[in-house]
Chains A and B, each alone.
Chain A
Amino acid sequence: MSDISSLTLVQTLEALKNKKFSEEELNRVYQERIKQLNPKLNAFLQTQENSSGIPAGIKDIICTQNIKTTAGSKILSTFIPPYSATVVNKLLENNVSIAGKTNMDEFAMGSSGENSAFGPTKNPWDLTKITGGTSAGSAAAVAADMCVFAIGTDTGGSIRQPASLCGVVGLKTSYGRVSRYGLISAASSLDTIGPITKSVGDARKVLGWISGSDGHDANCINEKFTMQPERLQAKIKGIKIGVPKEYFGEGLDKSVEKVVRDAIAKMEELGAEIVEISLPHSKYALPAFYIINPSEVSSNMGRFTGIRFGSKREDFGEEVKRRIMLGTFALSSGYYDDYYAKAAKVRTLVKQDFDNAFTKCDCIVGPVSPTTAWNLGEKVDDPLKMYLADIYTISANLAGIPGLSIPCGFSSGLPVGLQILGKYMDEATILDVGEAYEQATDWHLKKPDLSF
């Protein structure tokens, strides 16, 4: 069977149950694809050959016992974790096997996948384009059918944006939904773990596996995500969908805007009620984020002393150094009130915008990224330009709410993603809406031409 690798996770589980193929065959098919495609795409940093289980990609910032975990950094280029993250253990308990560790922007800092110490990941839709970041390899590996699904992390858009630019599904979970024990921290008040998958149903399935408290992450509350039964007709009729006017302003590529507007029209056609909403502090979310994130980063990077693990601090890459400097500056006495405290107050206003908006609607839709995938190298020398790529995704991290990116069309042959944001701890609604849209369209079935 040559098309085993194009099956979704839900379809793969069904086929295994019906003995259409064996787990051994499943693993062999994916291993072949990794061998064939990884030299071109650089999606995996380490790979494993298993003969059983559902092969998944794990972002290389998540600890895997006895499997090298680098976080995309030279400083951890020889680090072998002595234990696995909770998310990994939960997957293993559900018969998932680790196909490999996926490439990423160093310590989850970046928007293109180019900040990896081990070379950029290439976009399967066009090898001259970036994948987005920071879960670059996870998104590329799923898009190129090199694993059944992958795990990523989202601190400012790092699941949703690469999923969007690679034409796959990405779910940023609510802050606290999934335990981060064993995740190498970037910005602790923003970091979340979630799946990158071939369908919305797959994301729902993986979320059911990985969510819930383990007692090791004080922010992971004890409320287990209640699995919805798989529906043939996902719910969208009567759902109120808010469209924020601030997400369609200056900077949004016109052809991306058209694709996103068409997707919203499709949702209306499916029975959703579209309401215009306002998130008035949206333009302040990005500057607030680029104070809060570097501040927390500078503190978390303090553990890299070259004593207990890792090499010397000279081995940090450019973006990491930049954020350590920005963060230590923003936290230093005399500047704390002007920068860090100020940003934390603006964060309150960004969060309140969502609270107000959700009194008028059940979820919010808009673009994930203002453009499609750009050329490799295009923004590497201009950090501020790179930061602006996160303009529609970072607000959800500041507010702690869940967000889904689903394929909704193409612009000049490159995928465009639709973002669906939900109320805090209400992944159920955004998955329902996303699934209803997915079932009515065939964007998620489009595959890149990999005959390079």
Chain B
Amino acid sequence: MAKLTLSDSEIEKYSGQLSKILDYVDKLNEVDTSEVEPTFNVMGLSNVMAEDESSSSLTQDQTLANGSETKDGLFVTKGVFDNE
């Protein structure tokens, strides 16, 4: 999911740093939250709906302008399945 490529020296450095951070956040276990509801959004919103209406949007050229590789007006991506 993170999709990061790390070198050996990075792995060594980060594992030390991340352990230290995780030790620190363990402090949260001092708090009794058995009766507490979580807050994911301070406004208490979920599933905000909009009318299903079309409106103006970027043109195809504008949308593709920052793409690393485009072909026939589409983005080129890695294949999901082997082409063979």
Contact = CB atoms under 8 A, between A and B. Distances in A.
Interface of A: 78-80, 82-83, 175-176, 189, 215, 218-219, 221, 281, 283-284, 287-288, 290-291, 298, 302, 306-311, 313-314, 316, 321-322, 324-326, 328-329, 332, 339, 341-349, 351, 383-384, 387, 398-400, 424
Nearest to A345: B33
Interface residues of B, number: 43
Given A291-B28, A308-B66, 16 more contacts: A78-B66, A80-B66, A82-B65, A284-B27, A287-B26, A307-B77, A308-B75, A324-B2, A325-B4, A325-B14, A326-B18, A326-B22, A341-B38, A346-B36, A384-B24, A398-B42
A68 B36 CA distance: 45
Interface of B: 1-6, 10, 14, 17-18, 20-22, 24-31, 33, 36-43, 45, 48, 50, 58, 62-63, 65-68, 75-77
B51 to A, nearest CB: 10
A328 B3 CA distance: 10
A306 B78 CA distance: 11
A284 B21 contact: no
Contacts of B48: 218-219
A344 B4 contact: no
B14 A321 contact: yes
Contact of B31 (A284, A316, A384): A284
A316 B40 contact: no
A390 to B, nearest CB: 13
A327 B5 CA distance: 16
A349 B33 contact: yes
A306 B43 contact: no
Nearest to A340: B38
A290 B21 contact: yes
Given A307-B67, A307-B75, A348-B36, A400 B4 contact: no
B42 A189 contact: yes
A388 to B, nearest CB: 9
Contacts of B20: 384
Contacts of A400: 42-43
22 contacts: A82-B58, A82-B63, A176-B43, A189-B42, A218-B45, A219-B48, A287-B26, A298-B2, A308-B66, A310-B66, A321-B6, A321-B10, A324-B4, A325-B4, A328-B2, A342-B29, A343-B25, A344-B39, A346-B28, A347-B38, A351-B39, A383-B17
A326 B17 CA distance: 10
Name the prevailing secondary structure of the B interface residues. Answer: loop
A2 B29 CA distance: 58
A242 B18 CA distance: 36
B25 A345 contact: no
A219 B43 contact: yes
A287 B33 CA distance: 15
A314 to B, nearest CB: 6
A405 B1 CA distance: 38
B47 to A, nearest CB: 9
Given A339-B25, A384-B21, A344 B65 contact: no
Given A82-B58, A284-B31, A348-B39, A313 B75 contact: no
A182 to B, nearest CB: 12
Contact of A283 (B18, B27, B65, B66): B27
Contact of A313 (B3, B25, B40): B3
A446 B37 CA distance: 47
B27 A345 contact: no
A328 B14 CA distance: 14
A137 B42 CA distance: 29
Tell which of B20, B29, B33, B45 has the most Cβ of chain A within 10 Å.
B33
Given A284-B31, A306-B68, A309-B66, A345 B38 contact: yes
Nearest to B61: A82
Contacts of A82: 58, 62-63, 65-66
Contacts of B50: 215
Given A291-B25, A343-B28, A400-B42, A309 B4 contact: no
Contacts of A83: 58, 62
B21 to A, nearest CB: 6
A180 to B, nearest CB: 13
Nearest to A299: B1
Given A82-B62, A281-B31, A325-B4, A189 B40 contact: yes
B28 A287 contact: yes
